[in-house]
Structure 1
């Protein structure tokens, strides 16, 4: 399967999806490296998908 992030606003409106990654680790590294840029683009949270299956989320991109 391929791993992608579903990118959303705080109220769950879809803002887009990430590129596909070959592994969960690659997907998690990407979100860790780009979360500040995503916040600047109006993304508040993300859901990790393995194919069409949600693995976890929504995960807030804002610090506590």
Structure 2
């Protein structure tokens, strides 16, 4: 199975699916650790682009979701 991040843009965002893919969302990772390392590196760019939350999927199963918004 591959681990894949999906993202939820802000309600007022005009991000397209292609723009979200260009940010790296949807790319497959071989392990959860690789996926989490990528998110650590990409967090700022995703947040700056208007992504408010992300979800990690392990194949067809949701592993977990998390907010990118400041608490």
| TM-score, scaled relative to structure 2 | 0.74
Among 43, 60, 63, the alignment partner of 2:67 is 60
Task: Let me know the Cα RMSD of the aligned residues.
Answer: 1.8
Total equivalences in the alignment: 61
**Greater C-alpha Rg:** 2
Bigger relative contact order, structure 1 or 2, given CA contacts below 8 A and separation 6+?
2
| TM-score, scaled relative to structure 1 | 0.81
Structure 2 portions without partners, runs of 5+? 12-16
Higher helix residue share: 2
Runs of 4+ in 1 over 4 A off after TM superposition: none
Structure 1 portions without partners, runs of 5+? none
